[in-house]
A and B are shown apart, each in its own frame.
Chain A
């Protein structure tokens, strides 16, 4: 029995456009060299020492802990696909961490910085995401000594993180804006505000599943709340633009819009094998259709399209199958996963 919904199984504020809000804090210890100057032996000591310190804390008694020593590659990739660990961490030989029971909070050890704290919240609620990460940061600072100076703030491996060490990012579903090629203009526009936008899964100009991440680039010289306010203001404008674009598209060609959504549903629900590219594109169409009320499904609370998007990634499918699969087998398993998890039309 699962008590709590993970962030990707919940619908939060403005969930028609915003999938999640995430805050990541980068911290280093004074005692050890930073990652690329850290010898293997010292990395192991840093990871083991720090993990055992954190594990002893009452605040983390419900948390799961992991050590890369005990995980195989497939398990790690599945964690990556669920956003529990980062792409950087997965390439480290030595790493460990703690994960909250709902997987919304993750503490990674031996990332690019010694400690990376990340907190996810469903929908647009960056304040809560920051509060959750900040509390963890306070807990940790009670048992380890951070590298910090009053001029540069929290000292990080990369100059692009120094100061607050904070990266706040909204994950957005922008099918209407990316379908109408309005995103490129937007990208250069938001650069003026010290923000960056990038696609999460995609390569090329259109992100796979039309999922984009917008985050702050500047980390020094502003307080955490100033950075979040600035980011949120821009993101709320983008939400409005996406909504306008969706409404225009639907009001102009209602039947065509419905047709696309129903066809997407049909292919997703009844195909027997499907590629990741096709599945993500169709799920994106379906997500917009559901949010705009073009189609209704008999779903429970924890049903989200994004959850399916995570579930159909290759490593997760192989984890479910409990073995390595060929590409064709993955496509078959993917179609099966979607069939089983997509509710019927109401």
Chain B
């Protein structure tokens, strides 16, 4: 089996990473492992470092594939900080807030793999004008609930899963009622 990072050497290090019940397998050659600092993993006391490096590793392999197929996305440059895709995949860090809009869509799958999720559900930021960034968006609520349901099932936490299932059902019903109402209003 070839190393997923360089696609050149035979993979000698095989490991399974589990984040929130989502399992992913990685096969890496010893040279790349050194570069990615994966040696930290082996002693079971992983620091923050490998996590980020892993992202760059995964992205780098993806990048190679995309370069081969001449994906136009690989020519993207962030207009604010000048970060290009090549550099982004090497350092695995965002250069500015705008980078999230530029590179965000490209790494959504990787984000899911690393974090187990891809949508923020924590504290909501109020801007300086005291406006909450988030508007009432039932579609987004559903997205979040669906993500949580999947999570709970992955973790075999069926009690929680049932709760989310009911909530999704309720949200959908509310949405439908809203839509009917809005439909009636426009009809009137």
Contacts and interface: CB of A to CB of B under 8 A. Distances in A.
B92 A159 contact: yes
Contacts of A41: none
Contacts of B133: 148-150
B46 A198 contact: yes
B120 A37 contact: no
Interface in A28-71: 28, 30, 32-34, 36-37
A217 interface: yes
Contacts of B93: 34, 36, 157-159
Contact of A150 (B51, B52, B92, B140): B140
Contacts of A147: 96-97
Interface string B117-150: 1111111011110000110000010000001100
Given A37-B95, A155-B97, A194 B45 contact: no
Interface string B35-64: 000000001111110011001000000000
Contacts of A205: 43, 45
A33 B80 contact: yes
A196 interface: yes
Given A28-B97, A192-B18, A223 B121 contact: yes
B114 interface: yes
A218 to B, nearest CB: 5
Interface string A197-226: 111000011000000000001111111100
A223 B97 contact: no
Contact of A36 (B95, B114, B128, B140): B95
A194 B19 contact: yes
Interface in A135-168: 137, 141-142, 144-160, 162-164, 166
A194 B80 contact: no
B102 interface: no
Nearest to B95: A37
Interface stretch (A119-127, A183-191, A289-297): A183-191
Contacts of B82: 37
Contacts of B96: 32-34, 37, 147
A134 interface: yes
Nearest to A134: B123
Sort chain A's interface into a size bin. Answer: 35 or more
B81 interface: yes
Given A150-B133, A150-B134, A163-B122, A220 B115 contact: yes
A84 B94 CA distance: 26
Contacts of B104: 151-152
Contacts of B95: 33-34, 36-37
Contacts of A134: 123
Given A33-B96, A152-B111, A164-B122, 15 more contacts: A34-B93, A149-B97, A149-B101, A150-B134, A151-B119, A153-B123, A158-B48, A158-B94, A159-B92, A192-B18, A192-B21, A193-B20, A217-B19, A223-B121, A224-B123
29 contacts: A30-B97, A33-B80, A34-B97, A141-B128, A149-B97, A151-B118, A152-B111, A154-B120, A155-B94, A158-B93, A158-B94, A159-B94, A160-B51, A160-B52, A160-B114, A160-B115, A162-B120, A166-B122, A191-B18, A191-B46, A194-B20, A205-B45, A217-B19, A217-B51, A220-B115, A221-B116, A221-B121, A223-B122, A224-B123
> What 6 pairs between A and B have smallest CB-CB spacing?
A221-B117, A153-B120, A147-B97, A187-B44, A37-B95, A164-B122
